């Protein structure tokens, strides 16, 4: 995504070929990426971080300069993008709330997984890797309350869920 002239990638994943292909399709050179936002520290979300030598690494709590973490207040990416804490899948899990033309998108990482053949709703969906399932359910409710659209870490974007 781009905000205030800065390019941001959320969770660059581990499929280098697919990521570089997507950037090329959008006409974005990897050297132009300003920020990498990490929702949580699982390898499938962050292995490709080393592809972006010029990017500043950010998580839900810190901006990293070299080996030093500097706390931020959640507004690091400028107007229209807010870091929200969504623990449960992991203790440090965070998501991005992005406002675009009056609509709110939550880039949710693994706080919400989408499975087209799910038998349970997004809130109750089991997470075998959850650090704290009760905390995760609370975070899922928070996301659904804030979002018009949810972009999960795995699967397709979800829209039009009832608010709580």
Instruction: Give the domain CATH number at 110.
Output: 3.60.15.10
Q: Report the pLDDT value the prediction gives residue 34, as an integer from 0 to 100.
A: 96
Q: Report the pLDDT value the prediction gives residue 59, as an integer from 0 to 100.
A: 96
* Residue 164 resides in a domain: no
CA distance linking residue 105 with residue 147, whole number of Å: 5
Q: Report the pLDDT value the prediction gives residue 164, as an integer from 0 to 100.
A: 47
Q: Report the pLDDT value the prediction gives residue 119, as an integer from 0 to 100.
A: 47
CA distance linking residue 24 with residue 104, whole number of Å: 27
CA distance linking residue 138 with residue 156, whole number of Å: 22
In this prediction the pTM is 0.91
The total number of structural domains in the chain stands at: 1
* Residue 67 resides in a domain: yes
Give per-10-residue mean pLDDT for the chain (164 aa).
92 96 96 97 95 96 91 91 96 96 95 68 83 96 93 83 52
C-alpha closest to that of 42 among 61, 14, 4: 14
Range of the domain at 86: 2-159
* Residue 56 resides in a domain: yes
Q: What Cα–Cα distance (Å) separates residue 17 from each residue in 14, 22, 102?
A: 9, 9, 34
């Amino acid at each position: 995504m781009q905000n205030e002239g800065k390019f941001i990638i959320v969770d660059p994943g581990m499929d280098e070929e697919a990521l570089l292909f997507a950037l090329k399709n959008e006409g974005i050179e990897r050297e132009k990426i300003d920020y990498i936002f990490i929702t949580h520290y699982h390898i499938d979300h962050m292995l490709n971080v080393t592809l972006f030598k010029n990017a500043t690494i950010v998580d839900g709590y810190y901006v990293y300069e070299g080996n030093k973490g500097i706390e931020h207040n959640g507004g690091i990416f400028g107007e229209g993008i807010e870091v929200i804490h969504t623990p449960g899948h992991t203790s440090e899990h965070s998501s991005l709330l992005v406002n675009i033309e009056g609509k709110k998108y939550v880039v949710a990482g693994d706080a919400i997984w989408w499975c087209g053949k799910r038998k349970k709703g997004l809130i109750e969906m089991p997470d075998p890797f959850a650090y704290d399932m009760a905390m995760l359910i609370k975070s899922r409710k928070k996301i659904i309350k804030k979002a018009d659209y949810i972009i999960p870490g795995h699967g397709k974007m979800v829209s039009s869920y009832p608010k709580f």
